[in-house]
Amino acid sequence: MRTKLSLTRYVDWLTTAKHNLKSFSILRIIYGVALLFLLVPSIPERSLLWGPASFWVDSEASRRGYWTFDTVFSKDSTLLFDLAYFGLIALAIVFILGWHTRIITPIMLLMLVALHANNNFMLNGGDTLMRITLLFMVFANLSEHYSLDSRRRRRATAPRRHLVPAHISNAAHNTGLILCCFQIIVVYTTSGIWKVIGDDWLNGSALFYALRIDNFMLYPAINELLWQSNLVIYIGTFAALLVQTLFVVFILWRPTRIFALISLIFMHLGIGLLLGLWPFSLAMIALDMLFIRDTTWTRAEAFLQSNPKIDSGRQWARQWMVHLKSNVK
């Protein structure tokens, strides 16, 4: 009887309503920004990295036996490659703005996979994680908030037509949420376990040497200041081992979940700042957002709106936009 009630409760949770809509909307924005962090700085070297000048990777691709999607990002025509490359940048911007996200998401996923397949030497864990979770997000509602889609829906006068029944749409969205959360749990748990079973992380040398990799230093002076401090190395190492290994336990209780998420967000901000791996860091931070409930985002918005300084800044920005529009006309 108890098992039947639990199953009924889970089915109701899965099919009654879409969960974490604001978290998914924030994830959409951060994913788009992460993609721009990858594509825009690479514009000067795009041909060498992924385009017609990247034939140096094809021998490895042939040996491994995978298709490089040359029909999408052509290596035979600079014009076709540039059209696809800048088209992907445009899609990332549209994805951030949340315009026709249901259509844009699978197209952007296909083009991202095609770009990555042109040169697998340029990839890291963040790229792989983004491709996997984007596949799950095809079934989720990413534009309910902070998007042009939501603005269009609010202004629409005619009732919306739903091609798919609400309970199926809700189940697809929530299944995507579960799969994305499961994926990030797998990443943190396996990462923590591999750290624990090795000697380099237990004695602190892994973080020490990571901060000293010349090719990844954005601000060498900051890195040098940090790796010379035993206290920083000890605290950073202990925090990474604790939070990642026990992440699946921490998320079960709200106080420990808050501690884990804050720790991980600061850890990934540190990775982006100190090692320059911003696409990876932003992808991880974006997925961390899924463990924050919409009620928390609503309370945060209410707090910001009640803050007089922020409210005055918002009013000034609104007046400036009105003034700008009047001048344009």
Average pLDDT, the chain: 87
pLDDT of the residue at 328: 45
Kindly state the tokens that stand for 56: 């140096």
What pLDDT digit, counting tens, does each position of 13-62 carry?
899 999 999 999 999 999 999 999 999 999 999 999 998 888 877 776 66
Ordered alpha helix ranges (H), the chain: 2-16, 21-39, 46-49, 58-64, 78-97, 101-118, 125-137, 148-155, 166-196, 199-202, 205-210, 220-227, 230-245, 247-250, 254-275, 278-288, 294-306, 308-328
What pLDDT digit, counting tens, does each position of 103-147 carry?
999 999 999 999 988 888 888 888 899 999 999 999 999 999 999
Q: Each residue of 141-156: b (16+ CB within 10 Å) or e?
A: bbbbbbbebbeeeeee
Is the pLDDT assigned to residue 242 strictly greater than 90?
yes
> Torsions phi, psi of 124, nearest 5?
-140, -175
- Across the range 152-156, mean pLDDT stands at 81
CB proximity list for 136: less than 8 A, separation 6 or greater: 175, 176, 179, 180, 183
Domain range summary for the chain, segments of one domain joined by +? 22-152, 172-276
Confidence of residue 223 (pLDDT cuts 50, 70, 90): confident
What pLDDT digit, counting tens, does each position of 283-293 carry?
999 999 999 99
- Across the range 280-304, mean pLDDT stands at 91
Whole-angstrom Cα distance, residue 1 to residue 9?
12
What pLDDT digit, counting tens, does each position of 32-44 carry?
999 999 999 999 9
